[in-house]
Structures are given as structure tokens and as C-alpha cells.
């Protein structure tokens, strides 16, 4: 909290809620180029992601959609030799601001990974992890967070009697929902999902899609998926990437039913990709 910027990055929650629907450029990606060493993987991207909607990134493997998603919370900082041009802003503030601590950025952006990655701790400790690292350890607050997050992730009924058991005892689908619960525990504004259902069976996938529908009431969700039907089902807007370029971006219905670009049409109709 010593960093004044940490507070000014986002508007207070209450104020943000009022302005929510009228904020079509909550996340802005401006003339964005991204390089792994010498290799450029993202080319001149420009797109605005609206507040409290689900935006899907689709495209064939290697098109850079995951890279872009992982840049939104600067997860790619871990990799040596990365470089970017252009800017990404969230709520008007650059995520590359030198005065911004990357930790405070990530505290406001939850992330769910392709492979579920529960921590080797109890279910309870998994959920409260983000609170604990933020230095919050009031028992009542933690308990309340666990219940709220697990209920939001539709997992509460299944695990409420074994919160102190290891998270490794859960099934694949439950683990992924636990990861979602963990990602939303600290009330982030944005939820990034990197192919969250790729390792799950259809029933678990269905549950998570249902969950995404509910979560968009509260969060701005960006989801990367390989599954066309899933993108069509869960998202409000869809961006189609190909070879690091944004080919088409618009209302999901329009992108799927009436694509303006031939490549998009070919991809969404399953003719290539």
C-alpha cells in the first residue's frame, strides 16, 4: 500500500460498478508488438476489451493468443529475452508503467491456466493463498472468502466438508474449478482463462462454461480457447488471431455467423486450423 499508484490503478470497486456497462475500452491494446528474442510473435495489435463481458481469443495453435493473454498480467515477464512495443492499458493505466509494481497488477487480475495447478496444500489454503500473500490473515475474512469463492466456482457443495484435505484429492474438473475459485478469491476485476477446459471431459466443461456465464456478472473475462463451440457459447465478443495478427474482432454472433474475413470464415467453419 506504500505505492500510491497501487491504489490509483483501478477505480474503487463501487464506482467501477456504476460505470461498468458503459466502458467498452476497459482493456486497451495499442499498436502492440511482442518479441521472444528475435522472433516477433505479435504484430500491431489493436483491440479494446469491454468491461464485464466475456471476450474469447480464438485461432490456430501458435497464433499468439495465449501469449497476448499472458501479457495482460505480465506473466511473460518470467521469460528471458522478451521485448514489446506499444502499450496495454487497463482502465486507462499502462500495465508497463515503470512505477507500477507487477505484483499489485496481478493482485487485480486473476488467472486460470490450461492445466489445473492446485498448490500442494489443503483446499482451504489454496483459496486463501492470495489473501495470505497480501498479508491478510483474519480468520473470519478468510472463512468468508473461502465460502464465497467456492460458491462462485460452484464447488462449495462438493467440498464444504473437506476443506482441510489436500487439493490433490479432487477430480480433474473439481481441481480446475478450485483454481477458478482461487483466482477470484481476492476479488480481481479481470479473470484471464487460458484454455481452461482443454483437459476436461464434456460434463466438467459444461459446468465451467456455466460458471463463466455467472462470473461475467462480476468480472471482465478474457478466455483463450481452441473449441469453436465453446467460444460461441460463452463469449460476447470474439477475436480471431492468425500468425500473430488480429484478423477479425467483433460481436461473437457476427464473427461466427457473418465473418467479414475469408480466413475467419474458413477457421470458424472448420476448414482449416
Contact call for residue 133 and another protein (CB under 8 A)? yes
* C-alpha cell belonging to residue 34: 511482442
| Minimum CB distance to another protein smaller for 106 or for 233 | 106
When binding is defined by CB under 8 A, the residue of 115, 136, 138, 151 that contacts another protein is 115
Stretch that binds another protein, among 24-32, 132-140, 146-154, 243-251 (CB under 8 A): 132-140
Contact call for residue 110 and another protein (CB under 8 A)? yes
Measured CA to CA, the distance from residue 154 to residue 140 in angstroms comes to 21
Stretch that binds another protein, among 87-95, 164-172, 219-227, 251-259 (CB under 8 A): 164-172
When binding is defined by CB under 8 A, the residue of 106, 177, 216, 233 that contacts another protein is 106
Please enumerate in sequence order all residues whose Cβ is within 8 A of that of 110, keeping only pairs 6 or more positions apart, or say none.
182, 183, 184, 186, 188, 190, 191, 192, 219
Size of the site for another protein (CB under 8 A): 32
Stretch that binds another protein, among 14-22, 33-41, 87-95, 179-187 (CB under 8 A): 179-187
In 3D space, the residue among 72, 210, 215 whose CA is nearest the CA of residue 149 turns out to be 215
Rg (CA), the chain: 18
Say if CB 121 and CB 167 are below 8 A apart. yes
Distance in Å, CB of 115 to another protein, minimum:
6
Distance in Å, CB of 169 to another protein, minimum:
3
When binding is defined by CB under 8 A, the residue of 54, 159, 183, 221 that contacts another protein is 183
Contact call for residue 120 and another protein (CB under 8 A)? yes
| Minimum CB distance to another protein smaller for 75 or for 234 | 75
Measured CA to CA, the distance from residue 95 to residue 105 in angstroms comes to 7
Measured CA to CA, the distance from residue 219 to residue 214 in angstroms comes to 9
In 3D space, the residue among 145, 155, 160, 151 whose CA is nearest the CA of residue 175 turns out to be 155
- Give the up-direction half-sphere exposure of residue 102: CA atoms within 13 A in the CB hemisphere: 10
Residues near another protein (CB under 8 A): 73, 75, 78, 80, 103-104, 106-107, 109-111, 113, 115, 117-120, 122, 129-130, 132-134, 164-166, 168-169, 179, 182-183, 186
Amino acid at each position: 500500500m506504500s505505492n500510491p499508484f497501487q491504489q490509483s490503478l483501478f477505480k474503487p470497486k463501487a464506482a467501477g460498478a456504476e460505470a461498468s456497462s458503459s466502458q467498452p475500452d476497459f482493456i486497451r491494446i495499442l499498436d502492440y508488438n511482442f518479441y521472444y528474442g528475435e522472433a516477433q510473435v505479435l504484430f500491431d495489435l489493436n483491440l479494446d476489451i469491454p468491461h464485464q463481458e466475456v471476450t474469447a481469443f480464438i485461432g490456430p495453435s501458435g497464433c499468439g493468443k495465449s501469449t497476448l493473454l499472458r501479457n495482460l498480467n505480465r506473466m511473460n515477464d518470467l521469460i528471458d529475452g522478451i521485448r514489446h512495443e506499444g502499450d496495454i492499458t487497463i482502465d486507462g493505466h499502462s500495465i508497463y508503467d515503470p512505477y507500477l509494481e507487477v505484483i499489485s497488477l496481478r493482485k487485480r487480475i486473476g488467472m486460470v491456466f490450461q492445466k489445473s495447478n492446485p498448490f500442494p496444500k489443503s483446499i482451504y489454503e489454496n483459496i486463501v493463498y492470495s489473501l495470505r500473500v497480501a498479508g491478510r490473515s483474519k480468520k473470519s475474512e478468510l472463512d468468508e472468502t473461502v465460502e464465497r469463492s467456492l460458491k462462485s466456482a460452484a464447488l462449495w457443495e462438493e467440498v464444504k466438508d473437506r476443506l482441510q484435505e489436500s487439493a490433490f484429492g479432487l477430480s480433474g474438473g473439481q481441481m480446475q474449478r478450485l483454481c477458478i475459485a482461487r483466482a477470484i478469491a481476492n476479488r480481481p476485476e479481470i479473470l484471464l482463462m487460458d484454455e481452461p477446459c482443454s483437459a476436461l471431459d464434456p460434463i466438467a466443461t459444461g459446468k465451467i462454461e456455466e460458471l463463466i456465464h455467472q462470473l461475467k456478472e462480476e468480472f471482465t473475462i478474457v478466455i483463450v480457447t481452441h473449441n469453436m463451440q465453446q467460444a460461441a457459447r460463452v463469449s460476447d465478443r470474439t477475436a480471431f488471431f492468425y500468425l500473430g495478427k488480429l484478423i477479425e474482432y467483433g460481436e461473437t454472433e457476427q464473427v461466427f455467423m457473418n465473418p467479414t474475413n475469408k480466413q475467419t470464415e474458413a477457421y470458424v467453419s472448420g476448414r482449416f486450423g
